Amino acid sequence: MLRDILEIKREYIEISLKSIKDNYGNYERYFEKEFGLGDDDIENLKNVYLYLY
């Protein structure tokens, strides 16, 4: 039961990401509007959290 509570379902993530795209056009605009982040802030987050191969 605890596993069910802690599990993140792919479907929920996909719905959330689609909602961001539908409402803001892209993820950068979402972070700008909702969190007040600028281009440099967003770039820093990308460098920390995204792995580009």
Which pLDDT score, from 0 to 100, does residue 27 have? 94
CA distance 29 to 10: 23
| Total residues found in the chain within this entry | 53
Mean pLDDT of the chain: 91
Q: What is the tally of structural domains in the chain? A: 1
Over residues 6-21, mean pLDDT = 92
Question: Range of 34's domain?
Answer: 1-50
Residue 8 and residue 21: Cα distance in Å, rounded? Answer: 20
| Whether pLDDT at 5 is above 90 | no
Mean pLDDT of 14-27: 97
> Average pLDDT for residues 23-52, to the nearest whole number?
94
Position 43 scores a pLDDT of 94
| Cα dihedral value 10, 41, 26, 16, nearest 10 | 30
6: pLDDT strictly greater than 90: no
